[in-house]
Structure 1
Amino acid sequence: MASNCSSSTDKSSWPELVGTNGEAATEFINKENPKVRAQTVKEGSMVTADFRCDRVRVWVDEGGFVKSVPKIG
């Protein structure tokens, strides 16, 4: 789905950020792809299930580290 949202030059996922600090990962994504707005979300939090081309959720554990690959959606 994410490929429908971005051009071939825009990144749509960031696997290299798994295990890094969530806040730093969010800032990195926002700088790298200005077409999206990344937000840090604690694992287990309730969120909407809608798909958005301008959103990246950065899921973090209790320690604030990225738990899964951040991607557009």
Structure 2
Amino acid sequence: MSSCQGKNTWPELVGEKGQKAAEIIEKENPNVKAIVILDGTPVTLDFRCDRVRVFVDCKDIVVRAPIIG
């Protein structure tokens, strides 16, 4: 998929609270910074190995699998 270091996807976190998911992601892959963001918010399309966007709904629940990018 990519040449990024460490774990790169977290499908098991769908349904989890956003901040808790971000903490798990950063613990499992210390090379990334997890950013909690409301689903539907416009984001840049650049790919970065040090970023994981955690998309949440209005109740702070992860709505899609976080991935590096």
Alignment TM-score, normalising by the size of structure 2? 0.94
User: What corresponds to 1:28 in structure 2?
Assistant: 24
Instruction: Point out where structure 1 has 5 or more consecutive residues left out of the alignment.
Output: none
Q: How many residues align?
A: 69
Q: Tell me whether 1:59 sits opposite 2:58 in the alignment.
A: no
Q: Deviations over 1:13-72 (max 9, x none)?
A: 001000010110001111111000101010111111100010000000011000000010
Q: Which amino acid aligns with 2:25?
A: I
Which aligned pairs between 1:1-73 and structure 2 lie closer than 5 A? 1=1, 3-6=2-5, 10-73=6-69
For structure 2, the residue ranges without an aligned partner over 5 or more in a row are none
SS across alignment from 2:12: helix
Q: Distance in 2 between matches of 1:18 and 1:44?
A: 16
| Partner Cα separation in structure 1 for residue 22 and residue 63 of structure 2 | 13
Question: What's the % identity of the aligned pairs?
Answer: 55
Please tell me the root mean square deviation across aligned C-alpha atoms, in Å. 0.9
**Partner secondary structure for residue 19 of structure 1:** coil
